[in-house]
A and B are shown apart, each in its own frame.
Chain A
């Protein structure tokens, strides 16, 4: 009897230490293959005439780290998007000239996205690059300030002329948009690092069992949950591990007492009112093929409290998590979905998420998988 009790204690312990190899079926292999290949697709942006221009990329990199673009002279894009920290800031919410409502996302793999920002209020990367400069809580500038910076600095003025074919004009807004387009050209070049998951995914696709065996078994178990019972790929799909769309995942959208973040609902409103959207005069795409999403997007009550599905590439480097940084660790995120409270979703909203009900082992397995991305 005593031996039996001892054995029953040992079995779970051994199982934790040495998980069984995972045999992926055809459906799982197809789902895993769809999470690659790395790097995510990237193409020249027709809405930005300096997209892919090497001089614009250099100018954009310089401007991305230029504190003088802010009203105070103390805040640069890199203040929040720190290159040494996967272009995030390790804070719950962004801190510019004032504290923001949202967590700073990484800026890897932005080229080719449909929507930008947690609420998708921008439909192009140059508008997204301009927005923080003009936001009173972030860099607090205006288009006149941004334009004067490149107009009055001899070196910047010279580079600007080389990139755009003429010196900065007297049109502050047009010059500020060009500054943003140079920054966007730089941001398009930032690609997430190749990961251990990418090595496993490629090995799985070509049937290389020796290479597959180098991927930790616990991560394999987590991957099996991710593409299987967890149904995580329903939203975290494609090489970016994001559909690029928006969902209510049960995270509070109260930013403080009496104030809410409307998420996608407010994002679509801002998009439609923005002079910098793709339907406006600053879109360089003469054929307007870039406008499909903006022309067809619909706003619905259910969009309230929806936020963009973030890419999971490099996710272990970007804590804390969710749109408001309210979950400190990946383990907290996995537990959130494991114990998900369906009552926190809109009564008339979608019904996609159900509590995963994971045990401790599966929580660790999912975390181990996420850490390999």
Chain B
């Protein structure tokens, strides 16, 4: 049992090292993994930040055509007051600029990976103290 668990953890760590840079956070979807970090880190309430992200296709998934990034507070029923701009930084690499979380609490960052015919939405939660 312990061996199986260790193998699973090792596989997850393998994904972590294979996508993005060491220290990046991961958000996993069905066909893509997003490795990302914020600048600055950690995020400060009511201050602008950017997200540097790498999109890693899983299996035979194609490289993305572009990505979209947004965020919301589902419990408060509102999003950000700002719409980030996406800057392509290289194959599968992007920077989302102009993000701002204007209050503390649980935010959900949503990445949308856009390919030729499909869009995959991958969400991850961030708790802002």
Contacts and interface: CB of A to CB of B under 8 A. Distances in A.
Contacts of B78: 302, 349-350, 352
Contacts of A349: 77-78
Interface string B82-123: 111100000000000110101111000000000000000000
Interface string B70-84: 000000111011111
Nearest to B78: A350
A245 B80 CA distance: 10
Place the interface of chain B in its size category. 20 to 34
A91 interface: no
B81 A298 contact: yes
B46 A246 contact: no
A295 B103 contact: no
Contact of A234 (B83, B98, B105): B105
Given A245-B102, A352-B76, A238 B84 contact: no
Nearest to B50: A292
A209 interface: no
Interface in B11-60: 45-46, 48
A56 to B, nearest CB: 27
A105 to B, nearest CB: 18
A30 B103 contact: no
Contacts of A246: 81
A104 interface: no
Given A238-B45, A245-B102, 16 more contacts: A234-B104, A234-B105, A237-B45, A237-B46, A243-B102, A243-B103, A293-B82, A295-B85, A295-B98, A296-B84, A296-B85, A298-B81, A302-B78, A349-B78, A350-B76, A351-B77
A30 B102 CA distance: 18
Contact of A244 (B46, B82, B104): B46
Nearest to A114: B46
CB-CB nearest 3 A-B residue pairs: A296-B98, A350-B78, A296-B82
Contact of B46 (A30, A245, A350, A351): A245
Interface of B: 45-46, 48, 76-78, 80-85, 97-98, 100, 102-105, 129
A244 B102 CA distance: 8
A291 to B, nearest CB: 10
A169 to B, nearest CB: 35
A23 interface: no
A327 interface: no
Contacts, number: 59
A89 B105 CA distance: 36
Contacts of B76: 350-352
Given A298-B82, A302-B78, A243 B45 contact: yes
Contacts of A352: 76, 78, 103
Interface in A273-303: 292-293, 295-298, 302
Contacts of A203: none
Contacts of A30: 129
A293 B77 CA distance: 22
A293 B80 CA distance: 12
Q: Point out which of A237, A296, A349 has the most chain B C-beta atoms below 10 A from its C-beta.
A: A296
Interface string A332-356: 0000000000000000011110000
A155 to B, nearest CB: 42
A295 to B, nearest CB: 7
A246 B45 CA distance: 14
Nearest to A303: B81
A233 interface: yes
A238 B78 CA distance: 21
Given A243-B45, A292-B97, A350-B76, A237 B84 contact: no
A235 interface: yes
A57 B45 CA distance: 31
A244 B105 CA distance: 17
B83 A296 contact: yes
